Amino acid sequence: MENEGTGEEMPEPRSADSVRVAVRVRPFSQREKNSGRRCVVSMHSQSTTIQDPKNGEHLKTFTFDLAYWSHDGYQKDKDGILIPSNPNSKFAGQIHVFHDIGRGILDSAWRGYNATLLAYGQTGSGKSYSMIGFGTNKGIIPRVCEELFQAIKTQKENIELQVMFSMLEIYNEQIRDLLSRTKTPGGLKVREDPQLGFFVEGLKWVPCENYAQIEKLMEQGSKIRMTASTSMNASSSRSHMVITIQFKQIFLDTALTKQSSINMVDLAGSERQKSSGAEGDRLREGSRVNLSLTSLGNVISALADSAMGKKVLHIPYRDSVLTKLLQSALGGNSRTTLIAAISPADICYEETLSTLRYAERTKKVQNKAVINTC
Ligand code: ADP
Ligand code: MG
């Protein structure tokens, strides 16, 4: 990993960076296999094509920065390892994805850039698998944390390094601290600081010294998230989870500091909320969840239009909790990557197409990341 440890370099001039977009198709589930679902997605190097499930015609081809295939149709190679039978497809496991995306986040962190990673897609498309993972198939977030501490161990003595960790959930436009068992009625509030921008008032920040600590916090946080959603008779797929790491390097010789804020967001399922049949609380919840995701879409569209040269007077960051918290991640001071998670199955094709279109718009967003030094 690249790691400039001197702290003497000058901040780079402001430069525009496009949001990086990766698309990842999950494999078929056993249920989909048993019910004979057809695959409507294909990938050839960086391009992703979606077919019309009715006649197999190519509907549209998208090109993103990264494309990951994890579909079945595997065969064993000479070492007994499963590889995709389709030689054109690029099978990607968790390590591979971490290598491409997580390493970039770590590189940004050491250089003093803010970094943001967003996972977008319908429920069941593999967002949490990519971000958190399951069991030993660890996702990007735990791997980033693990490698950060591995690198910290090898640092020179004249640098002080600080890692602070927070984990929250946005549900129904209310913020719940996932590291605290105290429930704040109405949720925590977003405040605005003229210098720092939007922040969550009263959010718990835990200083961490090793990966084991973070692993434990993530476990606790996930439990609180599950319990909370069960008690409200809701699904955690309707909430957004935001994990933030504040990484600070203090160079003791020069008293210079470099700071990086890493946001990693497992977004709520992007599927359209069905209004029919939903009543009372559930209806309100549906529309409220939509508010944050819809606002995110509006912010992205406005930024994409502006990047394409259209005159845009207003970027609606203030419309929702999520867009306030992601203000610098989109169009601001951050190196941002979006993972568009999709299903390969014919029945999901409408949502898949909508996710790919969303990702295409997001790719146009230009950020202005700068090294944070003081
Ligand atoms: P989401 O968070 O988008 O609702 P999940 O991450 O929970 O979806 O994924 C749904 C299911 O698909 C899980 O059982 C998960 O293990 C599996 N899955 C998703 N992506 C992959 C992948 N790339 N490789 C293997 N299994 C995957
Ligand atoms: Mg999930």
- Pair 93, 313: CB distance under 8 Å: no
* Interface confidence (ipTM) of the complex: 0.99
Q: If residue 32 lies in a helix (H) or strand (E), which one and from where to where?
A: helix 30-34
Question: What average pLDDT is seen over the chain?
Answer: 85
- Whether the CB-CB separation of 131 and 138 falls below 8 Å is answered with no
Residue 38: per-residue pLDDT: 84
pLDDT of res. 255: 86
Residue pair 323/265 in contact by the 8 Å Cβ criterion: no
CATH node for 17-373: 3.40.850.10
Indicate if the pLDDT at residue 330 is higher than 60.
yes
Query: Which atom of ligand 1 is found nearest the CA of 125?
Result: 3
| Model confidence pLDDT, tens digit, residues 75-124 | 544 655 444 455 445 567 898 899 999 999 999 999 999 999 999 999 99
Q: Residue 202 catalytic?
A: no
CA distance to 56, 293, 343, per residue, from 167 (Å): 43, 19, 27
Kindly report the backbone phi and psi dihedral angles of residue 251, in degrees, each rounded to the nearest multiple of 5, phi listed first.
-90, 110
Whose Cα sits closest to atom 20 in ligand 1?
Answer: 126
Domain range list for the chain: 17-373
Predicted local confidence at residue 343, as pLDDT: 94
Residues with CB under 6 A from ligand 1: 26-27, 70, 121, 123-129, 134, 237, 341
Record the tokens describing residue 33, joined without a space: 């296999």
Residue type (1 letter), 39: C
14-18, 120-124, 168-172: the lowest-pLDDT one: 14-18
Hey, is 216 helix, strand or coil? helix
Options 68, 113, 120, 129, the catalytic residue = 129
CB 184 within 8 A of CB 202: yes
266-287 residue pLDDT tens: 999 998 765 434 445 544 444 5
Packing angle, helices 280-307 and 349-363, rounded to 10: 40
